[in-house]
Amino acid sequence: MVHGRVDWDFPDQDEIDEGPKHQFNPKPGDLKFKDQLTIDSNNDGIKDQADGVINANDRVVVKGYYPDFYYGLNANVFWKNFDFTIFFQGVQGIKNYTNNWGITPYTQGSPPTMDLVKNHWTPENHSNTHPAMYRSGYNPVTGTTSTYWLFDASYLRLKNLRLGYNLPAKFANKIGMKEAQVYFSGDNVLTFTKFPGSDPERTSQNVALSIYPNLRTLAFGIKVKL
């Protein structure tokens, strides 16, 4: 469960003073959390008013812990002396809560991301992408679980492909082989995703953005039968 958010940040001190009371003391540019409807004002069983305080009662369940579906495509094609195999895999609708190393600036001396550097909130640039520059341990941004750290980790990946060419038997025999095939293969060749980290497949809930990705491998080879 996380705190939802109405807007990215507080534009000025007046809005902070007039808004609900936060558990930390925010300043302009810090994250703004939604004051959820938690009070049933007329006892009809429907919560229709906010209580003016941001606390544990404002936590909501956000869809995405489990994906909507997995999918894949596998194809094998044979034509004359060629054979071709391809495998796509994908996940749709999953979200990952991602913080700490690789995304939270100055965690154990690590620098902020270039996206944060270019698009953080300033008095002159009221960004709707990132709050004002902060550092690890700054409670108005990092002290409360929120959708700011929740990323779409859906992806489509060209997981494997292989293209082979079988040399004609006459040519293979001339070079002292019964069969010979030249081939190219690749693993983790292409990935299509909005996830900002190195690899959406290698993530799980509440992880660092800097987790080491699956390797992309490309290989050329010759397969022979003597």
Query: How far, in Å, CA of 146 to CA of 97, rounded?
Result: 9
Residue 82 pLDDT: 94
pLDDT at 6: 44
Buried b or exposed e, range 3-32, using 16+ CB within 10 angstroms: bbeeebbbeeeeebeebbebeeebebbbbb
How many helices and strands, by DSSP H and E, does the chain display? 4, 11
One digit per residue, the tens of pLDDT, for the chain of length 226 reads 555 544 567 877 888 888 888 888 889 999 988 888 888 888 888 888 888 898 888 888 888 888 999 999 999 999 999 999 999 999 999 988 887 777 888 888 888 888 889 999 998 888 878 999 998 888 888 888 888 888 899 999 999 999 999 988 888 777 777 888 899 999 999 999 998 888 888 765 556 566 778 899 999 998 888 8
Structure confidence at residue 162 (pLDDT):
96
First to last CA, the chain: 62
Tokens coding 118 = 């270019």
- The separation between CA 123 and the C-alpha centre of its own chain, rounded to angstroms, equals 29
Give the pLDDT score at 185. 96
Please give the pLDDT value at position 175.
Answer: 75
Contact between 17 and 10 (Cβ < 8 Å)? no
Q: What is the DSSP string of 69-128?
A: EEEEEEEEEEETTEEEEEEEEEEES-EEEB-STTTSTTGGGPPPPHHHHHH-B-SS---S
